[in-house]
Amino acid sequence: MRISRTRITAAVAATVTVAAAVTTVLAGTASAAQGCRIDYQPNEWTGGFTANVRVSPGDTALSSWTVTWSYPGGQRITGGWNATVSQSGTTVTARNAAWNGSVPAGGSTEFGVQGTSTSGAGAPTGFALNGVPCNGAPPPTTTPPPTTPPPTTPPTTPPPTTPPPTTPPPTTPPPTTPPPTTPPPAGCAGAVLCDGFENQTGSTPAGDWSVVNPDCSGTGRAAVDTATAHSGSRSLRIDGAQGYCNHVFVRSTKDLSAVGTVRYGRIWLRHTTALPTQHVTVMAMTDAADGNKDLRMGGQNGALQWNRASDDATLPEQSPSGVALSVPLPTGRWTCLEFMVDGNQGQLRTWLDGTAVTGLTADGVPTHDIDGQWYNRTWRPRLTDLKLGWESYGEGADTLWYDDVALGASRIGC
Ligand code: CA
């Protein structure tokens, strides 16, 4: 196959325009990204490559991002996915797509590139996020951002000197993961329940959800919120009050039996007030194998915990060492809470923003400070429902939002 020279020339010309636009973006909205990481995972074969690139902003949330790096030579970008990618000389610029510009502090997003390469092409260097060097590189010592100014004349880079190959195409198969051609969905990976509350039409949750007050009703309130959302324009809002009788939950009305005995969940959660010292709950699931008592996710001593309503066992144990192995639930931003409850093995896993939490892990072997108390008896949960909402048993009032909720038989991801 011969590569058309006119196509390459056109691509270079287009790159000039893109580079100028990128410089404008950097000047207008570049934000510090201390501790950022760019992880570049190539998949190479003779004459070509793809690479998956993970963008982790560190302690700064992003509303948009531009990732840049340099190839030592020999690589030429031909396309990408989940980003707008261009190359000028050896410098590659990737800007977020419409749907993945927002990345929370501590979170990450991924995109990919594909291209051609000559033999012996080296690894890319100089990764930067919004103009800030990543992967531990020192920040720039001078004030001008380390961006390449747009060329004032057409680039002098000649077309590739390597003639198009006249030999048969490479025998190495292309990468097994083809780039997706459409934007990823809200990210439910075939889950049985997948709901961003976008089909809610009123101010009170209805349809696939119903408001329930399992014990008694008070001032706790549940509503569909159109002012705050993780995606789309709606979320579930819970105004939870302190005191036992102010419990309020929104319960899924869907048949969840297809999830099976190994249940994975993913919930985007946002709240306003740090978890209190006393016990509170933000999510509950009925356990048919435990007298229909709830398995509860919430907090105590300022950190997240699981709690078994039948015997009040906690995960982790509420010793200082145990609590230290859990994590607080960050306030004022969306957090991705994932969990796995394995009813066959009697195990439990929890991830916050993609990171496994040691103190919220029941791995089948009792460990002091973690799951010692959890395994004070045989535990083989059979969860039958999902309730999102608030229980306080004394102190603790909070406003919470839930969005992009999913339950399935395999891990869904954030
Ligand atoms: Ca939504």
pLDDT at residue 170 in the model: 42
Q: Quote the pTM value.
A: 0.57
| pLDDT tens, position by position, 299-344 | 999 999 999 999 999 999 999 999 999 999 999 999 999 999 999 9
Distance from Cα 309 to the centre of ligand 1, integer Å: 30
pLDDT at residue 32 in the model: 44
Tell me which range, 72-81, 113-122, 364-373, is most confidently predicted by mean pLDDT: 364-373
**Does residue 184 form part of some domain?**
no
pLDDT at residue 138 in the model: 67
Distance from Cα 120 to the centre of ligand 1, integer Å: 47
User: Do 251 and 392 sit in the same domain of this protein?
Assistant: yes
Mean pLDDT is lowest, of 82-96, 168-182, 188-202, for 168-182
Distance from Cα 289 to the centre of ligand 1, integer Å: 32
Tokens coding 341:
């409850």
Number of folded domains that form the chain: 2
User: Do 199 and 118 sit in the same domain of this protein?
Assistant: no
Tokens coding 144:
């001008």
User: Do 129 and 17 sit in the same domain of this protein?
Assistant: yes
Distance from Cα 403 to the centre of ligand 1, integer Å: 5
11's enclosing H/E stretch is: helix 5-29
Residues 6 or more apart whose CB falls under 8 angstroms from that of 163 comprise none
User: Do 88 and 227 sit in the same domain of this protein?
Assistant: no
Look up residue 163 and give its DSSP letter: P
Distance from Cα 106 to the centre of ligand 1, integer Å: 21
Given a contact cutoff of 8 angstroms between Cβ atoms, the answer to whether 196 and 402 are in contact is no
pLDDT at residue 181 in the model: 33
Cα separations in angstroms, 105 against 99, 138, 196, 233, 234? 17, 20, 21, 22, 22
Q: What percent of the chain has pLDDT above 70?
A: 78
Residues around ligand 1, an ion, CB closer than 5 A: 196-197, 229, 231-232, 234, 403
pLDDT at 353 over 80: yes
Beta-strand pair 221-225/387-392:
unpaired
User: Do 209 and 317 sit in the same domain of this protein?
Assistant: yes
The mean pLDDT value of the chain amounts to 82
Distance from Cα 203 to the centre of ligand 1, integer Å: 14
User: Do 345 and 209 sit in the same domain of this protein?
Assistant: yes
**Does residue 379 form part of some domain?**
yes
pLDDT at residue 81 in the model: 62
Question: Which residue, of 83, 109, 133, is where some domain finishes?
Answer: 133
Burial of 151 (0-12, 13-18, 19+ CB in 10 A): middle
Distance from Cα 231 to the centre of ligand 1, integer Å: 4
Q: What percent of the chain has pLDDT above 90?
A: 54
pLDDT at residue 394 in the model: 87
In this structure, what are the phi and psi dihedrals at residue 6, rounded to the nearest 5 degrees? -65, -35
Distance from the Cα of residue 170 to its chain's centroid: 36
Burial of 97 (0-12, 13-18, 19+ CB in 10 A): middle
Question: Which residue, of 84, 105, 133, is where some domain finishes?
Answer: 133
Biggest alpha carbon–alpha carbon distance for the chain = 78
Distance from Cα 336 to the centre of ligand 1, integer Å: 14
User: Do 118 and 198 sit in the same domain of this protein?
Assistant: no
pLDDT at residue 162 in the model: 42
User: Do 199 and 330 sit in the same domain of this protein?
Assistant: yes
In this structure, what are the phi and psi dihedrals at residue 23, rounded to the nearest 5 degrees? -60, -40
User: Do 209 and 116 sit in the same domain of this protein?
Assistant: no
Distance from Cα 188 to the centre of ligand 1, integer Å: 13
Q: Which domain holds residue 383?
A: 193-408
**Does residue 176 form part of some domain?**
no
Tokens coding 19:
């580079």
User: Do 126 and 241 sit in the same domain of this protein?
Assistant: no
**Does residue 84 form part of some domain?**
yes
**Does residue 311 form part of some domain?**
yes
pLDDT at residue 126 in the model: 93
User: Do 205 and 63 sit in the same domain of this protein?
Assistant: no
**Does residue 307 form part of some domain?**
yes
CATH of the domain at 337: 2.60.120.200
Distance from Cα 226 to the centre of ligand 1, integer Å: 9
Distance between CA atoms of residues 401 and 329, nearest Å = 13
**Does residue 200 form part of some domain?**
yes
Burial of 312 (0-12, 13-18, 19+ CB in 10 A): exposed
Mean pLDDT is lowest, of 42-46, 78-82, 243-247, for 78-82
**Does residue 171 form part of some domain?**
no
Question: Which residue, of 94, 113, 133, is where some domain finishes?
Answer: 133
CATH of the domain at 67: 2.60.40.290
User: Do 112 and 237 sit in the same domain of this protein?
Assistant: no
Distance from Cα 198 to the centre of ligand 1, integer Å: 5
Residues 6 or more apart whose CB falls under 8 angstroms from that of 200 comprise 206, 207, 209, 224, 234
DSSP 299-318: EETTEEEEEETTTTEEES-S
